[in-house]
Structure 1
Amino acid sequence: MAMRTHADRLRHSLLYELFGLLLCTPLASWALGRDLLRVGMLSVSISGVALGCNYLFNLVFDHILKRLGRPVHIRPPWLRALHAVSFELYLTVLTVPLIMWWLGLSFWAALLTDFGYTVFFLAYTYLYNWAYDTIFPMPVAPKTETAGD
């Protein structure tokens, strides 16, 4: 089975974060009633955490699919949804403490804030990965000839 190259994974992660920041930061600033610059800095910080996590998470996710014998280039809607939800849960564990510290929020307020980010990014992750796979299709391993060919 063919898998994405490291360069392709890097492009995927960088574009994901760039478009996510451009869409999310103004919305979060408005929803939180906080200064755009302060929320922008928080969003960039979360993006940095997510960028590193995105690369690693997607690599592990693809290896799990490969180990289970599933082709990595076929992503039905249920698998895309599983991918998006599991990534956002993983990221939440890492970002809630950052939000607490950055905005001076209690755990519950930070969790609610993170929930807002998560709802946005669940939809965004699903749509982004669908669009990315459409624009930059996953490589398909060449067929090997068998004795009967």
Structure 2
Amino acid sequence: MAENFEERLTYLMRRVSTALAQDVDRVLRDFAITHAQYGALAQLGLVDPEALSAATMADRNGITAQSMSSAIAGLLDRGLVRREPHPTHGRILQVRITPKGAELLDRAHVATGKAENRSLAFLDEQQKHALGSSLRAMMRAMGLYLYFPAADGDRP
């Protein structure tokens, strides 16, 4: 008997990922930012020091450097980030979030958190924890680095 494709985990994860991404995209439209721009702002709002190169942000977002450069250009135009020379590497420009960008990021976090909560509403806290732990374990197994600490301290 042939395997039921709809039972494959990769199929299920893709469907959930696509639906959640579409929901978050709808939320981000209210802030006039894209997923890539939101990812860039989130990284800049959480890192220490609070500046990163476009190449680093592209890698962390899993997108091309060209796509990240385009995302950053839009953020620069709106005054949400600024570029500055790297303190030790003269040819590298780094990006830093502005107060205006931090304020927008805070509001976007709240709104996207509501979208995430809607998608997870049917899970209890133990299931949410197990799902997060499983996804982080998959990321580590696939060589994907976790850049932000998890609430439970589960780090690579």
Do both proteins adopt the same fold according to a TM-score greater than 0.5, normalized to the shorter chain? no
Using CA pairs under 8 Å that are at least 6 residues apart, name the structure with larger relative contact order, 1 or 2.
1
More strand by proportion, 1 or 2?
2
- Structure number with higher helix proportion: 1
TM-score, with structure 2 as normaliser: 0.33
TM-score by length of structure 1 reads 0.34
